[in-house]
Structure 1
Amino acid sequence: MRWLAFTVLLAVSPLAAEEPVPGSNPIIRDRFTADPAPLVIGDTLWLYTSHDEVADGEMFNMKEWLAYSTTDMREWTFHGSVMNIKGFAWASHDAWAVQVIEKHGRYWLYAPVEHDATKPGKAIGVAVSDRPEGPFVDAKGAALISNDMTPKGTHSWEDIDPTVFTDDEGTTWIAWGNRQCYIAKLGDDMISIDGPITEITPPHFEEGPWLHKRGGLYYLTYASLDRSDHKDERVSYATATTPLGPWTYRGELTGSGEGSFTIHPGIAEFKGQWYLFLHNAALTIGDRKGALGRRAVTVEHLSYDADGLMRPVIQTAAGITAPPP
């Protein structure tokens, strides 16, 4: 009788947890990833991330940038490390939030790092490859943007989190920052700044800007922090009719990521649907739980109203496996 009861118990309450549905959140489950940056090339969406490798007691330990690809937003192919921070000989550590774009038939990677002692503070490097999966190599041999180029800033880590975007006229813009948000034109060579650096800081801007365009509107989406009210970053956005603004603040797009102080938006249109990539700290791998330096990439459906404003997004475990709103 005891054997029969145990058999029935197994049938009703299986010991093994169900496998997550492909495409549900987090979308990458075998390692900790953060700062998602999508890039659409034909019928494939590429996703570039930073790699969280922090041990207990550390804040961040990030040494490389990774690439994934998908054709259906459900199954993801891992392409390995596209570049290690050692590829920037002038940098010392901190391979933080990256973005890759295509121009002139090549792929350009823009990433923040800690500069060596010759130019203290955070800096932004640019690398190039003939293939989206890399490997990427330093395209300039020096920082594209260094802390001494933004002397009005309040701290040494303001020059982080680059976002790059090519407008309809073929001009490529780069925006970046922490607490202050800056924008500038890139030279046609993709490794120089062409003209002045302009501050465009919107309300509650903290870091992680992302530029995109839909219809006649430019969107500046970013990690925001209302220090009078919130303890964790959320996602807010502003709109403008030109990259230089003036930018109109449109409010919060999402709340904070589960278990995470930071958040980082990445936006793409793929096969007729819009997607918002984020990160949280909801993933556990073995005995390693999510934390400030152990984050996980997520994705949600994104939609717009009749005026072109983005509708608020609720972060879910189902992600895009649920129907679009």
Structure 2
Amino acid sequence: MLKPLIAATLLATTALAGAANPLTSRIFTADPAALVDNGRVYLYVGHDEAPVGGKDYVMNEWKVFSSCDMQHWTEHPAGVPFSTFKWAARDAWASDVTKRNGKYYLYVTVEHKTIPGKAIGVAVSDSPTGPFVDARGTALITNDMTHETEISWDDIDPAIFVDDDGQAYLYWGNTVMKYAKLKANMTELDGPIHTVGLDQFTEASYLHKHAGKYYLSYSRKWPEETVYMTGPTATGPWSYGGVIMEKNTNVGTIHHAIIDFNGKSYIIYHNGKLPTGGDYRRSVAIEELHYGPNGKILPVPQTEQGPAANPSAACKR
């Protein structure tokens, strides 16, 4: 019988085998969001629970993983169920995360109970691993706030970006990309919703900054490929940069996040390479990302081995 302290430790976290893609083969995971904090990378991923041969997404929670070296990952037990949002009917679709003023804000896609269509909510926690609670008690974005398309899933895939001057921006959308400023409290819009015309935009917009340049990446076409644009500000104007990652072989989507960690850059994405994997049984994977001359992002191939170990000082703590 395990001693109580050892048993409690095993229940608290699950250490996963590292040094290979995908991140975990224990469960199916998708739509990664990433946060670098205090020498660790935290990943927030949707949990694909569809059965073999399933024809729709079954996603009820976001799982949380972390690593100090980009190879060995710990699964944190609490996760974030969609029922965190009492106004949500179902679904734990794509999310994004940021830290501000010592708190962690998780922006998520769910189905609204009373307003038809997908909606975006925001949860907050004092810890990157939770517990997270609904920061508003209501949705931040609902389908009746935007009218560019007739589809009910055009308000999905939130991407949060806080600029150097402290201004926060929320990007989201399917078919049409939208963005809005957020107030400093991170839970209210600060002004109107804007739309951006992007070439063959599908979904999964993501904004990051590197060496003084803004990069807007997104999923284009169907099946999706990951492409990027660059600009002088967080709102453009945007110039096309190129393809970052080619489409998956057996999955239509390829949702991504891009981070800098311990002196290197990474792209985190999903594919369907686990046995029985596919559109509704996806797996999150990670690759190192490189910039070429003039800040051009070089194309990234998918690999089985993933990135080399990159231990931060947090690994010694």
Per-residue deviation at 1:319? 1.7
1:64 maps onto 2:61 in alignment:
yes
Distance, in Å, in 2 between the alignment partners of 1:259 and 1:25 is 16
Highest RCO, 1 vs 2 (Cα 8 Å, sep ≥ 6): 2
> Residue 70 of structure 2 contacts residue 309 of structure 2 at CA under 8 Å; is this kept in 1?
no
- Per-residue deviation, residues 106-157 of structure 1 (Å, max 9, x unmatched): 00010011111x2111110001011000011111011000111111223110
Per-residue deviation at 1:315? 1.0
Structure 1 segment 118-197 matched on structure 2, within 5 A: 118-197=114-193
Residue of structure 2 in register with 1:260 after alignment: 251
Per-residue deviation at 1:290? 0.3
1:243 maps onto 2:240 in alignment:
no
CA RMSD of aligned residues (A): 1.6
1:308 maps onto 2:272 in alignment:
no
Per-residue deviation at 1:245? 1.3
- Per-residue deviation, residues 72-96 of structure 1 (Å, max 9, x unmatched): 1111000024211111111111110
Distance, in Å, in 2 between the alignment partners of 1:70 and 1:267 is 15
> Residue 200 of structure 1 contacts residue 247 of structure 1 at CA under 8 Å; is this kept in 2?
no
Distance, in Å, in 1 between the alignment partners of 2:188 and 2:61 is 23
User: Where do 4+ consecutive residues of structure 1 move more than 4 Å?
Assistant: none
Distance, in Å, in 2 between the alignment partners of 1:155 and 1:260 is 21
Computing the radius of gyration from Cα coordinates, the structure with the larger value is: 1
Q: Secondary structure at the match of 2:295?
A: coil
Normalised TM-score (structure 2): 0.89
Give the partner amino acid of 1:98: S
> Residue 113 of structure 1 contacts residue 125 of structure 1 at CA under 8 Å; is this kept in 2?
yes
Distance, in Å, in 2 between the alignment partners of 1:257 and 1:322 is 25
Residue of structure 2 in register with 1:107 after alignment: 104
> Residue 63 of structure 1 contacts residue 93 of structure 1 at CA under 8 Å; is this kept in 2?
yes
Structure 1, gaps ≥5 residues long: 1-19, 226-230
Structure 1 segment 10-29 matched on structure 2, within 5 A: 22-29=18-25
- Per-residue deviation, residues 262-307 of structure 1 (Å, max 9, x unmatched): 11110000000000001000112xxxx1021100001111011121
State percent identity of aligned pairs.
45
Residue of structure 2 in register with 1:75 after alignment: 72
Distance, in Å, in 2 between the alignment partners of 1:252 and 1:202 is 14
Distance, in Å, in 2 between the alignment partners of 1:222 and 1:101 is 19
Q: Secondary structure at the match of 2:150?
A: coil
> Residue 53 of structure 1 contacts residue 61 of structure 1 at CA under 8 Å; is this kept in 2?
yes
Residue of structure 1 in register with 2:306 after alignment: 319
Normalised TM-score (structure 1): 0.87
- Per-residue deviation, residues 36-87 of structure 1 (Å, max 9, x unmatched): 1110002111111010001233310000011000001111000024211111
Q: Secondary structure at the match of 1:145?
A: coil
Residue of structure 1 in register with 2:89 after alignment: 92
Residue of structure 1 in register with 2:263 after alignment: 272
